[in-house]
Structures are given as C-alpha cells and as structure tokens.
Amino acid sequence: MGDHLGQLVELEISNVAHGGVMVARHGGRVVFVADAIPGEVVRAVVTDDSKAKFWRADTVEVLEASPYRQPHVWSAASIDRAPEERAGGAEFGHIAPAHQRELKRRVLADALQRMAGLEPAVIVEALPGPADGTGWRTRVRLHAAEDGTLGPYVARSHRVVEVADLPLATPEVASAALLAGRKDAGRKQPGRAARAHGSRSVDVIGPSTGEPIVLRHGERSGPITERVGDREFRLDAAGFWQVHRYAAEVLTTAVQEAIDPELFDPAAANLDLYGGVGLLAAAVGDRFGRDIRIESVEGDSGATGHARENLADWAGASAVTARVDRYLSTPGTGAGGLAGATVVLDPPRSGAGKDVVAALGALTPAQLVYVACDPVALARDLALFAGHGYRLSGIRAFDLFPNTHHVEAVASLVRT
C-alpha cells in the first residue's frame, strides 16, 4: 500500500455514500470521493490507499459538472483550494440545497432498506432560514494551531486553517468567532490563551438570549438561557444544545406529533432517555398537560440539574443522572416495568445499541419515539427493535445541518 498515494485519477461518480463522500470505481476498486456529485466526471487525487478494498480521493477538477453543482457557499472549502487547505465542516456546500436534501434522503432510505428491510416514503424537510443553508450554526468550535491561530480543521485532518468567514454560523457567532481568531498584537489572543492553558480549541456559543460567549474547550461559565417558543431552558454554556437555531423548535413539534395520543397514558412510567436538559420531556408535557408523569434520564449531572429546574412546571416530572443502559437494567429506578408507557430517546450519534434496545424490548413500552442523527445507527436499531416486537409506524427527516452530510430523523415505533 502507498504506491498510489497522490496519484491523479479520472472518476465517474455513481452514487452518494454515508459520511459525506461520493462513490466511484477505478480498476475494480471502490473509491470514496470528496467534493463531487453523483453523475459527474472528476479528476481526483488519491489521499488514502491503505485499504485493499477501497481508496479515498479528493476532487481537484470537475470535467463534467452536475447540473446541481453551485459555487461553494464557503470559499475556504472550495475545490479552488488545494485539498490540504480546504476547511472542513461544509462538505455539501458545493451542491444546490434541494439536491443536498435528496442525497441525504437516499442515504437514509438506503440504510433503512439494507439494514432493516424498510422502505418508508420519506423526504428530508428544510428548516426555516436562508435558502442557501447558511447562517444557522449557534455553536462553533475553532481549533488552536501552535502559533495561536484559531480556525477550523482541514477536512479529515487535524490541521488548522485560517479563514476569513464562517458562513454557516449565525452572524452574531461568526462575528465573535472571527474576532477571537484575529492576530492583533495589541490584545489578548484566545488561541494563544487556549494553548497556554493546555486547550487546543475554543468554543463560540450564541444562545437565543444574550450575547455570544467565547470559551476555551472544557472551560465552564455561568448558565445560559435558550428560548423555544414561549418556554425557556437553562443550561451550562458549554452544555449540549441543538446547533441549528431552529432545531429545538422543530424537534419539539416533531416529537409531539410523532406520539400516538391513543397510546399515550399520562399516568404510565413515561421516559425521556438521553434527556439532556429536558427539551423533549417538556415537549411531551406541553402536549399532554401538567398532570403527566415523565422521567428524564441523562448521564451528565450538570444537565440533569438543569432538567429538574426546566421541568418544574410538571409535578409528575423528574430527572435522574444515570447511564441509560444501567438505568433500564436497575430495579427500583422507575423503569421496572413500562407497560403502557411512551419512551422518547435521543441517543448520541452511535445510536442506542443492542443492550438498550434489548432492555426496552423487555420492558414493553406501548410506543417509542426515536430521535436519530445517524441514518446507519438508526437503521441498525430499528432492525433490533423489530426483533423485540416493534414496528416502524412513521418517520420524518429534517435538514438540521445544511451544507453538511448530516441529517436528523424522528421515528415512531409501536408494538406489533
């Protein structure tokens, strides 16, 4: 291996793959190609030939362009730059927004069919905001180079590249981040400060209330307030919150609509797993009233503390700090039996996994609403749930991350 590294190859792009790359073949070998679009013919440089079955390559020239190709929304990530200078984090920015959503739909549909034998009709729905998919990120992480320069990583690397703009960020976050990254000799440089304190990154957070906050990675500040409709949520500035400025509102409505009211029992042991600061538990409460019973389960104690405060409007709401798998397998936690219950789960990118699925299957809730940010993990878990007697009753997908390959889905499951 290594004989082909740096080689230029001409490739016909046939499809999209999970992970933001496209698929081509060269000499019988699969090549995963960045910065291309299905239907194009491109010239690409081989960047990884370490695997026997496939290579990776970066597009350097488009020989036959797709009608869906557009000037990249972020010049720092354009193929006009050498691959080693392209900023990461906007890998679909060269594709017309509607076609981005179509490619995400294909990835989701392929995963569901291939891994779970499911073929639901699904589209990827756009969120409010600019039609070009910019101006949505309320949280940005910049990395600190040895000289204190702050910037994003080059795609698929840990090399920092300096940039002049951050078009995916909200204007307020972009301004704060670019100001933090300046090299003015007359003022303190957050990048150098981060390196001096052993941190290699800086987070810029733009809450829906108040001014943007700049934090070294791992640094804590006072709580912030995020507003979703008429409701406010308190959380740590560095804590988890949906990144798209409209995502929390969209997911609140989607989860509310995904629950079958005929199966919902307000007195059952309803659960919000991986509950964070209580966003989705509150969504359930706001739909079904102040007398419902629901418990939020979250592994981060700081988030749990905020969840207790955020869910104070419901006398039957509670929040516990626990790993979800351990919580579901421990008697006396309130999850000893879930007959009649509704369970909302929003696991990390890796999904719930077989142990959590098996535990939920054994506890027999009436319905589940699964919020997923990875199509492959979702499809795997839906197949596992089918083995425990649950079928997919509905699914929606949302473009919570425009100009990237990521897509969010909300799936409803009921017992067969």
Known active-site residue 48: no
* Residue pair 412/367 in contact by the 8 Å Cβ criterion: yes
DSSP code string of 45-85: EEEE--SSSEEEEEEEEEEE--TTB---SSGGGSTTS-GGG
Residues with Cβ < 8 Å from 312, sequence gap 6 or more?
none
From the candidates 373, 382, 407, 410, which is the catalytic residue? 373
d(CA 127, CA 242) in angstroms, rounded, equals: 13
Residues with Cβ < 8 Å from 157, sequence gap 6 or more?
84, 88
User: Would you say 346 is a known binding-site residue?
Assistant: yes
Interior angle at CA 308, CA 306 and CA 309, nearest 5: 65
- Tell me the two tokens of residue 115: 């891994």
> How many CB atoms are closer than 10 A to CB 267?
11
- Tell me the two tokens of residue 357: 């699925």
d(CA 49, CA 57) in angstroms, rounded, equals: 9
d(CA 416, CA 143) in angstroms, rounded, equals: 48
Helix H or strand E encompassing 115: helix 97-116
- Tell me the two tokens of residue 231: 């409701």
d(CA 370, CA 280) in angstroms, rounded, equals: 11
User: Would you say 70 is a known binding-site residue?
Assistant: no
User: Would you say 298 is a known binding-site residue?
Assistant: yes
Binding-site positions read 242, 274, 298, 346
Binding region for S-adenosyl-L-methionine: 242, 274, 298, 346
Would you name the residues annotated as active-site residues?
Answer: 373
